[in-house]
Structures are given as structure tokens and as C-alpha cells.
Structure 1
Amino acid sequence: MTTIDFKLGRDSFGRLNLTTADGVLHEHVSPVRAFPIQAPLDGLALVNTDGKEVAWIERLEDLPADYAAMVAEELGGREFMPEISRIVDVTSFATPCTWTVATDRGETDFVLRGEEDIRRIGRDALLVSDTHGIHFLIRNQWELDRHSKKILDRFL
């Protein structure tokens, strides 16, 4: 286990604050993942309001449980990337078109502007962006059901 040389807490407004070992207070820090898709629990920076790193966390599990819970809560509040588990339907195979998908956060519809809004991340993962800038993750395109793969193949 890594030695933690800072203290985390919340102020009266619920914002995350960090105090370093030498007593310097950094107010309203935010966790930022170094590798949000490939290694979401490894390599997190705590940054101040200017975006400057004030602490580094090698692994989220290295933190005491209460600190890990605060960091996870902050990440949940600032990150929104639903994971697509199934492509239910598309309105057309020409873009723009509306996709109906099942995600880890429920079923939803979004508009895909063009094929360029589907980006490969590594060998297996895809990142799909809708017209509002929301990113949807397909963690492993090869694990999708047959129907979803057939639709996806038309756009890749």
C-alpha cells in the first residue's frame, strides 16, 4: 500500500479540499483520471481550480476507504460516460441518424452526426459521440450481441 501524504475533506459547501503534509490547503480539488477507459482505477491526479496537479494517486484502492469514497463520488459527479451494452435500433444507415441503445444507465436515444463520431480506442473499444457531445463507450465491440454487431458494422 502506498503512503498517503495528504488529507482529504469536504468544506461546508461539500467541495473537496486537500491539505498537504506541510499544511498547505488546496480548496475545491478535482480528481482526473489519467487513463479513463483502459485503466480507470489507476493513475488519478487531484488538481486545483487552475488545473495544476497537487497530488497523485497511483491506484484508487491505495486510499483509505473514506478518501476513496470521496474521490469516487467526485468522479461520479463530473464524469458521465454511459456504456453501450446493445444497439437496439437505428433510424437509418445514412447519417445523421438516431440510435436507440441499451446502456448501463438505461435505454436512450441519441443522434449520430457521422461515421467520424465513432472512434476506435485500442483494439476492442469504441467511443461514440452524439450531437450534444455526450460520449458513449462500447468497451468491447466483439462482445456485443449479433444484432448490435451487424448495425455497428454498417458504420465502421
Structure 2
Amino acid sequence: MSTAGFELHRNSFGKLVLRNAGGEVFEGVSPVRAFPIQSPMSGISLVTTDGREVAWIDVLTDLPQTARQLVTIELEGREFMPEIQRINGVSSFALPCTWSVSTDRGETEFVLKGDEDIRRIGKTSLLITDNHGIQFLIRDMFEIDRHSRKILDRFL
């Protein structure tokens, strides 16, 4: 099960259909990232509705353009993890507080309940969970702007 050796298309119901090199057909496959935060473009499994892996994608860019687009669209529909690009402000430094942020999906506000809702992922990434369970990603806390970094430092 590697990047090569399968074809992807959508059926009339909009479901992904995979045909492997042996001619087997699997309807309703879904892409699942092995490492969605640290390595989102590599290590993608295509699984059936019962969770069985039927294909593996080493690197997404290795796929032909059409298959790559199908996988990318499917992943975007399944995953929702806005990436924080700037922290515009917080209502207070006492918890709970409301954060106003700019993300890759637009401006938003969310409530941070406690310090435990900010988790380190690796050396530089942070995962922030709001009071509704939505997770926001800061990919590299050292690359974020100075204003945002000062606010973050108060909570870390």
C-alpha cells in the first residue's frame, strides 16, 4: 500500500471511490492524516468506512493533480482547526477570558477557560481549545508577531 498503484474518483453520490492496482474497488474512502500538525502533507491513509486502510500516501504532492485535489478537498471538509496568525487582544489575564484572534479562516473570538486548555505540541506548536471544544493551532509560537507573543507569554 503505497502512493502509487491506485486511482481515485467521486461516484454519483459524491463519495470517494478508490480502485487499487489489483482492480479492487472501495467506495466511500476517507483520507486521514497520520501527523496533522507536525507533517500535514505527508503520511495520509485512505481508509474504508469500517476503518480499514486500503492505501497510503507518502507525500501528497506525489499524487497526480486530480487525485491530489480530491484528497485535499476531502481533508478540508473533515478537518476544522483554524491556525492563529495573530492574537489581537484578550479581555483580561485572569481566566476565563475572551481572546480576539486573526486566523487563516478570518477574525474570531473565543473563551479560554483555563491554562490546561493551552497544550504544547512538539517544541514550537501550541494547541488552544476554546470553551466549545474547538481547537486552534499556533504552528510556531516563536514566529508569531511580537504583540501576540507577549500575550502568549502571560499564559504559558
TM-score normalised by structure 2 residue count = 0.94
Taking only aligned residues, the RMSD between alpha carbons, in angstroms, comes to: 1.2
Query: Equivalent residue for 1:15?
Result: 15
1:55 maps to 2:31: no
SS in 2 for 1:38: coil
The AA in structure 2 aligned to 1:71 is: V
Using the alignment, how far apart are the partners of 2:61 and 2:151 within structure 1?
A: 38
Any stretches of 5+ residues in structure 2 without a counterpart? Answer: none
Point out 4+ residue stretches in structure 1 off by more than 2 angstroms: none
User: CA separation in 1, counterparts of 2:74 and 2:3?
Assistant: 22
Equivalent in the alignment of 1:80:
80
The 2-side partners of 1:17 and 1:74 are apart by 12
The Cα offsets for residues 84-117 of structure 1, whole Å up to 9 and x where unpaired, read as: 1111111121222111001111110011111111
Alpha-carbon distance in structure 1 between the residues aligned to 2:28 and 2:11: 9
Q: Distance in 2 between matches of 1:39 and 1:23?
A: 30
Residues 45 and 53, structure 2, Cα contact 8 Å, conserved in 1: yes
**Aligned counterparts, 1:34-73, within 5 A:** 34-73=34-73
- TM-score normalized by the length of structure 1: 0.94
2: CA distance, partners of 1:109 / 1:93: 15
Deviations 1:30-82 (A, max 9, x none): 10111111111111000111111111010111111100010001011111111
CA distance in 2, matches of 1:114, 1:52: 37
